[in-house]
Amino acid sequence: MNLSRIGHRLLGLAVAGAALAGGGAAFAELGQPKPWEMTLQESASPVMDNIIWFHNFLLVLITVITLFVLALLIIAIVKFNAKSNPVPSRTTHNTLIEVAWTLIPVLILVGIAVPSFRLLFLQLDLPKADLTVKATGKQWYWSYSYPDHGKFEFDSLMAQDKKPRLLAVDNEMVVPVNKVVRIQTTGADVIHAFAVPAFGIKIDSIPGRLNETWFKATKTGMFYGQCSELCGKDHAFMPIAVRVVSDQEFAAWIETAKKKYATNPGNTFASAGAAAH
């Protein structure tokens, strides 16, 4: 194969790659994974803002440390080999260096601990909630209820004929934008985990125990997550879909949901679908 053909083939691969990336960007939306994504999902909550900041801070810090250690190794290899130093140094102690290599790592760890504990406190200290949603993990779908808005409950199963694939559901969890949402979660059978990356939440749903977390969605739209605990054969097929809407749209949805689900709390058609699934 001559150089001209190789050049044309490489050019074709580059164009195809650019088209694939461009096509991925076209159908990728906020709140779901994107093709060729190497970073965390775009934030849609204050907690996730802090998670991204902390991640980037640690990435810079560990990069600086790695480059510093690499520089020391190169200096040691080049400057202190047998050829450069036929008569090796007999130095055994250096007080300044010994204090530095003890004190500097301690200061680095303290510098990591302070924002780490601040983020942990932000995640675990639930503010006053505007809305409570109970999410119950079942084999293998989610059930949602809104204890503040009446006695209704509905099931949420993965939809085979909707996009995005493996993330779309038949009945989404709906919440208002810019409101503190308290998530209460438990498991009906085995341990599940409720996780939505764009909101920075991930918490186990354990049978016989009620765990709590929270988020405040700052953007409207659809946001997807999945069960993040190995819960059985259909673990990969119980997505979480959260639709964030305006206050007016949420109030209208609540009224519709009360009528649609109140007389059928178990959402029997969904339960039947789960059994078939």
Q: Is residue 181 part of a domain?
A: yes
For 215, the domain range is 131-276
Q: Report pLDDT for 90.
A: 81
Q: Is residue 6 part of a domain?
A: no
* pLDDT exceeds 80 at position 117: yes
Q: Is residue 100 part of a domain?
A: yes
CA–CA distance, 47 with 5 (Å, rounded to integer): 52
Specify whether 116 is located in the same domain as 184.
no
Q: What is the maximum alpha-carbon separation in the chain?
A: 90
The CATH number for 228's domain is 2.60.40.420
Condensed to tens digits (0 to 9), the pLDDT of residues 158-169 reads 998 889 999 999
* pLDDT exceeds 90 at position 270: no
Give the count of domains, the chain.
2
Specify whether 106 is located in the same domain as 165.
no
Specify whether 170 is located in the same domain as 59.
no
Specify whether 138 is located in the same domain as 118.
no
Condensed to tens digits (0 to 9), the pLDDT of residues 177-212 reads 999 999 999 999 999 999 999 999 999 999 999 999
Average pLDDT over the chain reads: 86
Specify whether 249 is located in the same domain as 216.
yes
Q: Report pLDDT for 17.
A: 44
Q: Report pLDDT for 27.
A: 39
Specify whether 101 is located in the same domain as 62.
yes
Specify whether 138 is located in the same domain as 194.
yes
Q: Is residue 29 part of a domain?
A: no
pLDDT band at 250 (very low <50, low <70, confident <90, very high): very high
Specify whether 177 is located in the same domain as 223.
yes
pTM for the whole structure: 0.80
What's CA 47's distance to the chain center, in Å? 11
If phi over 0 gives left and psi between -120 and 50 gives alpha, with beta otherwise, what is residue 181? beta
Specify whether 224 is located in the same domain as 167.
yes
Select from 153, 124, 143 the least CA-distant residue to 215: 124
Q: Within 13 Å, how many C-alpha atoms sit on residue 149's CB side?
A: 24
Condensed to tens digits (0 to 9), the pLDDT of residues 15-64 reads 344 433 443 333 346 899 888 988 999 999 999 999 999 999 999 999 99
